[in-house]
Amino acid sequence: MHAEYVEVTEEVVNTILETKKNGGRVIAVGTTSVRSLESAAQDAVKKGTELKPFFGDTDIFIYPGYEFQLIDGLLTNFHLPESTLIMLVSAFAGYDNVMNAYKHAVEQKYRFFSYGDAMFVTRKGL
């Protein structure tokens, strides 16, 4: 998995903590947002602290079986088959759910990849 520089600011952390405290849901826009927020969550768990700002490179590889800690919803585009990003989406929403969405997208002639259509998915079990 490629590494990328990410930033989760104090403002973002405060918004997430307040949202969760009030029973709200955290919606990520894009897979980089997911990787950023989940990296911050992993860092907090590793340090035994609550969620804190996170700045640095992440090479987090999210695939089916990963247990999400922060994200409740994801807005993302339709990714390339057999890519690490479709693995991330499948880990989040469930493989069968994602494959059903892709089947529907193909049948309806949605456009895929960076300049295509988008989908909103929720975490399996929600």
Structural domains of the chain ordered from first start: 4-122 (3.40.1780.10)
- pLDDT band at residue 125 under the 50/70/90 scheme: low
pLDDT tens-digit series, residues 6-64: 999 999 999 999 999 999 999 999 999 999 999 999 999 999 999 999 999 999 999 99
pLDDT tens-digit series, residues 65-80: 999 999 999 999 888 7
Chain centroid, CA 57 distance in Å: 16
pLDDT at site 15: 98
Q: How far apart are alpha carbons 76 and 42 in whole angstroms?
A: 22
pTM of the model: 0.88
- Residue 113 Cα distances to 41, 69, 79, 83, 118, angstroms: 28, 27, 5, 11, 9
- pLDDT band at residue 126 under the 50/70/90 scheme: low
| Mean pLDDT, rounded, for 94-117 | 88
Asked if residue 108 lies in contact with residue 117, where contact means CB atoms within 8 angstroms, the answer is: no
Q: In the numeric block, which tokens belong to residue 100?
A: 């059903």
Asked if residue 123 lies in contact with residue 71, where contact means CB atoms within 8 angstroms, the answer is: yes
pLDDT tens-digit series, residues 84-103: 999 999 999 999 999 999 89
pLDDT at site 104: 93
